A and B are shown apart, each in its own frame.
Chain A
Amino acid sequence: MPLDRSIQTTTDIGTPDSYVVKGLGDPVELYVRSYIYIPAAGLATMQAEGDFNQPNLVSILDGSNVFQEGIMALYDGGGPGWQWWAAVGGSPVGVVDPDTWYKLDFRINTSTVKMQFWVDDVDPQGEFTGNTYTSLDSLRVGFDGGGSYNIDTDLHFTGVAVGSTRGGSDIFDGDVT
């Protein structure tokens, strides 16, 4: 069954960031799922920003809108790979091809301070424990570069879901199809 409708986020001159927001109520643990599509022009825009300076695409923030964790398509001098926000500076993993749908999942547990992510059901890095988390209050999906971007790019997201298990939607079902 195709998810034939998607959320398009567009950034242009005067609109540096574009994203949607959902409150989550600060669970101890959550799994976030989103399908993402990055056009070639979007990847080119991100690469132009220089190494380790890419926007968050799917992220979790605390009650003061401080980033807790997120996924990005990161450049580190080579082609783009996937990386999570707290691990920026380390080498990204895998390859991000343009005009391709990817399924991204990640998990955060504030009790055990563990994070893990999957790209198309493959966990390329294992658990990560390099961050600390205040709370898991809200979800942002879209182009979120902290206001540092101001050039054209589009991104597409669909099948957004937040659950207490991987792939679950018991916390939030963001289906737009």
Chain B
Amino acid sequence: MPLGPFDSDVGTVAIVDAPLGGPTVSSGPVVTASPAWRFDLCEGGASNPTAGTFIATLDPYCTDRQFVFDLNRPCSVTGKIASDSSVVNSVYGDGYPYLNEGNRTLKCYRYESGDWVLRFAGILWTVGDEGDVDMGYTSFTAFDPYQFLFRRMIRRNDGNLKKTVTLANNAAAAVKRHIDKTIEFAGPCYIDTSDGFFEPALVYLTMQYEQEYLARAFSEVTDTGVVDIIMDPVDRTDGILVTANAVSQRGDDKSGSVQFQWDVGSRGVSEWKRDLDMDTLANSITNFSGDKKLTSFVEDSTSQGIYGVMEDARVLTDILHQDSLDALTEWELSMRKDPRENIAVLPLPETGSFVFDDYFLGDIVTVECSSNAREAVSGQQRIYGITLDVDDEGVERVTELRVSPAG
């Protein structure tokens, strides 16, 4: 006769009164959904060859977790945790508390198809302590290593900072070269380029800087629309948190499969906000090179027919080549010939489309609204930003999707 619900037993076993009355549980074996996210605290320090090595899991103590993912900008995650938790105030082997700014990193895993997938790896950048009559809390913000490049200067091939630096040639290759240069002359920065993809034959771009942060220079390059920089998190323990990539356009066209609809169709959007303004509109644009020897002029007759001629002219001091000047001017016209439109939507969880699984930064999706939103909107929009909240049970919810017209 097997013991209780078991199939068989070996040796001497019996069911007896449990010592100490047995453990107390809330309601017996509890069936709960597997948490969608796991936050692991890891070693940090850009010069630490074991940065990324696991220290402790912050779950289940961590609350108020929120990710902000932005295209071509540093991505971040914030959270809050009881200060007296052993995963916060224990002293690690280097003499600092477990949770510490600058020399700790955070790896955030999402549970997908039976496995934990690394979706964010960043540096604990800000740590704050506060207390009330009951207890103390520590809040934190971690940024991906793009943020670290705000403290690295753009430099010449010989490492020199003092003279004018040119960011030139193939835009993707230039991004790689400048990351490699900062690693060579200033040391590791959590970023690896050797496994990255740098799209060949991209637009040739020439910009010049003097004493500029790498991240700011990269932002200027990506804002031209000719290249997107992607920091892919990688699960390593050798000081590397991300692999850098540079491509002509991040993301895919998913407008046929991912649709966010307000008051039409699936009604998968609970809230939405749309702003249109004329502040940036220009349909006759002239740009000059820094030395004013080069000129590029473009105009849009359709826009001029609707709004009248609205001009703008600028001297782009960083531009030295006609191809680059023309590309920038064409891109500028495409972005400014219509009123500036910004849309933020709050998708319902039931919409059937999920962040990471179905869409992410750079993807083109369809956003539709009925005429009950003053005028109907239906079109392809590119995702520029995502705010994602993770509740105390580890369940995620997109709380804002920031999109702008694609194409």
Contacts and interface: CB of A to CB of B under 8 A. Distances in A.
B114 interface: yes
B1 interface: no
Contacts of B5: 22, 172-176
Contacts of B28: 1, 3, 159, 175, 177
Interface in B6-53: 6-34, 38, 40
How many B residues are at the interface, by size bracket?
Answer: 35 or more
Contacts of B34: 165-166
Nearest to B3: A20
B400 interface: no
Nearest to A4: B22
Interface string A1-18: 111111111111001111
Residue of B10, B18, B30, B33 most packed against chain A (CB within 10 A):
B18
B15 A7 contact: yes
Interface stretch (B56-64, B205-213, B275-283): B56-64
Given A4-B22, A112-B114, A19 B13 contact: yes
A37 B18 contact: yes
A12 B40 CA distance: 43
Interface stretch (A46-54, A70-78, A83-91, A117-125): A117-125
Contact of B11 (A4, A10, A23, A111): A10
B195 interface: no
Contacts of B33: 165
Contacts of A114: 115-116
A81 interface: no
A125 B54 contact: yes
Contacts of A161: 29
A175 B31 CA distance: 14
A170 B56 CA distance: 29
Interface residues of A, number: 62
B32 A6 contact: no
A4 B18 contact: yes
A33 to B, nearest CB: 6
A13 to B, nearest CB: 11
A37 B20 contact: yes
A158 B115 contact: no
A127 B116 contact: yes
Contacts of A141: 6
Interface string A118-161: 00011111110000000000100111000000000000101101
A168 B14 CA distance: 24
A8 B31 contact: no
Contact of A158 (B3, B12, B23, B32): B23
Contacts of A156: 16, 18-19
B32 A1 contact: no
Given A167-B29, A167-B30, A167-B32, A21 B7 contact: yes
Interface in B47-88: 54, 56-57, 59-60, 87
Contacts of B115: 109, 111-112, 114
A37 B116 contact: no
Interface centre among B2, B5, B29 (most CB of A within 10 A): B29
B22 A158 contact: yes
Contact of A1 (B11, B24, B116): B24
Contact of A19 (B9, B22, B29): B9
Given A11-B11, A121-B60, A127-B116, A173 B19 contact: no
Nearest to A140: B10
Contact of B29 (A6, A143, A175): A175
A12 B11 CA distance: 9
A9 B32 contact: no
B4 interface: yes
Contact of A124 (B21, B30, B38, B56): B56
A17 B56 CA distance: 34
Contacts of A15: 11-12
A166 to B, nearest CB: 6
Contacts of B59: 123
Contacts of A175: 5, 28-29
B56 to A, nearest CB: 7
A35 interface: yes
Contact of A99 (B7, B20, B31): B20
Given A15-B12, A112-B114, A177 B7 contact: no
Nearest to A161: B29
A121 B20 CA distance: 21
B23 A101 contact: yes
A1 B87 CA distance: 28
Contacts of B32: 165-168
Contacts of B60: 121-122
Given A3-B28, A99-B20, A9 B11 contact: yes
10 contacts: A3-B18, A5-B16, A20-B2, A21-B9, A22-B5, A37-B23, A99-B20, A143-B11, A158-B18, A167-B32
Given A2-B18, A158-B22, A168-B31, 10 more contacts: A6-B22, A18-B13, A21-B6, A37-B20, A111-B115, A123-B57, A156-B19, A158-B18, A159-B29, A167-B29
**8 nearest A-B pairs in the assembled complex, by CB-CB distance:** A18-B11, A6-B18, A101-B23, A161-B29, A20-B6, A123-B57, A10-B12, A3-B22
